[in-house]
Amino acid sequence: MRRRESITLLGGAAAWPLAARAQQPGKLPTIGFLASGTTSSHGPWFAALAQRLRELGWIEGRTIAIEYRWAEGRAERFAEIATEFVRLKVDVIVATGSAATEVMHATSVIPVVFALWGDPIGSGYIASLARPGGNATGLSMQSTDIAGKRLELLREVIPGLHRLIFLGNLGNPNNVLEMGEVQAAARTLGLEVALSDVRRAEDIAPVFEALKDRAGAVYVCNDPLFLSNRIRINTSALGARLPAMYGFREHVEAGGLMSYGANFPDLFRRAGDYVDKILRGAKPGDIPVEQPTKFGLVINLTTAKALGFTIPESFLLRADEVIE
Q: Where are the domains of the chain?
A: 3-142+263-293, 145-262+296-323
pLDDT at position 315 over 70: yes
pLDDT in tens, 196-219: 999 999 999 999 988 888 899 999
Domains 3-142+263-293 and 145-262+296-323 share a fold: yes
The pLDDT value given to residue 141: 77
| Over residues 156-165, mean pLDDT | 92
Collapsed DSSP state (helix, strand, coil) of residue 262? strand
Whole-angstrom distance, CA of residue 56 vs CA of residue 12: 8
Residues 149-173 have a mean pLDDT of: 92
Task: Give the whole-number percent of the chain exceeding pLDDT 90.
Answer: 65
40-84 pLDDT, tens digit per residue, is: 878 888 899 999 999 999 999 999 999 999 998 888 899 999 999
Sequence-separated (6 or more) residues with CB below 8 Å from residue 213: none
Closest CA to 321 of 269, 248, 266: 248
pLDDT of residue 26: 59
The answer to whether the CB of 189 falls within 8 A of the CB of 242 is no
- State the virtual CA torsion across 63, 37, 302, 239 in degrees, nearest 10: 170
Please name which of 150, 180, 152 lies closest in space to residue 168, comparing C-alpha atoms.
180
Q: What is the pLDDT at residue 23? A: 42
Is CATH 3.40.50.2300 what the domain over 145-262+296-323 is classified as, yes or no? Answer: yes
Give the distance between the most distant pair of CA atoms in the chain.
Answer: 67
Rounded Cα–Cα distance for residues 268 and 230 (Å): 20
Is a pLDDT exceeding 60 seen at residue 146? yes
- pLDDT number for residue 119: 77
CATH number of the 3-142+263-293 domain? 3.40.50.2300
pLDDT at residue 25 greater than cutoff 60: no
- Whether residue 280 contacts residue 324, with contact meaning beta carbons closer than 8 Å, is answered with no
Among 139, 104, 105, CA closest to 269: 139
